[in-house]
């Protein structure tokens, strides 16, 4: 993270830092109870035997890790000082980056799981298991951790070489070897979500009977629309700021915007379990019957 507005006067900088502190404080106040409650409900009331629930539990954990790091950002922007040293700064920065990376992957897993459930309900049963979901989640966390180690080493060297004494706001930019990793990851996950959304929309339009209630389609598609919104509003802008220099003066503001995603993920859990799973059974049953009829006709 870099401070590109070194020429702005102290009053403007103080107002902006106050605004950042208010945003991060609001996200902490709202995001902590929402995600803690969501995680409790997912673990207590929903079976972790479904891959969808497994991915949502991991997504909630990712959001909680982000939320618990935000109070120190509030302190930094409110006071302009950092009392915990460079390593704490590095790992709090990593928690933020982890959230964008792991959340984008878990949201994509949820999207792909919905695609398989709606478009390939029979053929995907062996793939859509809780065991495979837990293995995939473990690989995601291992992958993110390995990236963190490499970035942390480079981050630490940057702080020492440039004699930086503050956190989050540096006088010069980093040139990490993994600079383009996050933008490429976010773009790839977004492309997968777009394809899944298009396929599910086409399948529902083609297979749901005219007698099916309109809100069936709306509740099924709402999850995909929310996923796309997460990427385009929260993940994509801050990732593009890493590439385009013209975006970088607004980098900290985009970080504030990206942090808000952890407050909206609980809506994804609500619509998925309260609306989607009930409707999904009807969709799966309809598609399964159609496929079974096709198989019987082929063997007749």
What does the pLDDT look like over 29-41, one tens digit per residue? 999 999 998 888 8
Which residues lie closer than 8 Å to 166 by C-beta, 6 or more apart?
Answer: 76, 82
Q: pLDDT (tens digit, 9 = 90+) per residue, 123-138?
A: 888 888 889 999 999 9
3-state SS assignment for residue 162: coil
Give the model confidence (pLDDT) of 194-230 as tens digits.
999 999 888 877 765 443 433 456 667 788 888 999 9
pTM passes above 0.85? no
Model pLDDT, residue 163: 55
Contact, 61 vs 291, CB < 8 A? no
Predicted local distance difference test score (pLDDT) of residue 1: 40
* Residue 167: both structure tokens together: 């956190």
Question: What's the CATH fold of domain 10-282?
Answer: Rhopdopsin 7-helix transmembrane proteins (1.20.1070)
């Amino acid at each position: 993270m870099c401070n590109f507005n070194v020429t702005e006067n102290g009053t403007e900088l103080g107002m902006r830092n106050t605004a950042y502190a208010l945003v991060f404080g609001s996200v902490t106040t709202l995001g902590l109870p929402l995600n803690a409650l969501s995680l409790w409900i997912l673990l207590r009331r929903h079976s972790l035997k479904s891959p969808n629930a497994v991915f949502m539990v991991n997504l909630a954990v990712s959001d909680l890790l982000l939320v618990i790091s935000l109070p120190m950002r509030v302190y930094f922007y409110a006071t302009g000082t950092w009392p915990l040293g460079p390593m704490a700064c590095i790992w709090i920065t990593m928690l933020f980056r982890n959230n964008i990376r792991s959340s984008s992957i878990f949201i994509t897993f949820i999207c792909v799981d919905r695609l398989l459930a709606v478009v390939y309900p029979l053929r995907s049963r062996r793939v859509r298991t809780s065991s495979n979901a837990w293995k995939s989640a473990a690989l995601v966390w291992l992958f993110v951790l390995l990236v963190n180690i490499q970035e942390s080493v480079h981050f630490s060297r940057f702080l020492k070489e440039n004699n930086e004494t503050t956190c989050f706001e540096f006088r010069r930019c980093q040139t990490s070897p993994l600079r383009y990793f996050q933008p490429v990851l976010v773009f790839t996950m977004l492309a997968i979500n777009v394809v899944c959304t298009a396929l599910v929309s086409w399948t529902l339009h083609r297979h749901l009977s005219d007698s099916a209630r309109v809100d069936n389609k709306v509740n099924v598609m709402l999850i995909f629309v929310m996923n796309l919104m997460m990427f385009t509003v929260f993940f994509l802008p801050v990732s593009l700021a890493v590439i385009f220099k013209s975006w970088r003066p607004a980098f900290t503001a985009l970080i504030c915007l990206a942090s808000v995603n952890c407050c909206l993920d609980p809506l994804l859990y609500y619509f998925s379990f309260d609306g989607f799973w009930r409707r999904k059974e009807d969709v799966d049953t309809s598609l399964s019957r159609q496929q079974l009829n096709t198989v019987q006709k082929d063997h007749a």
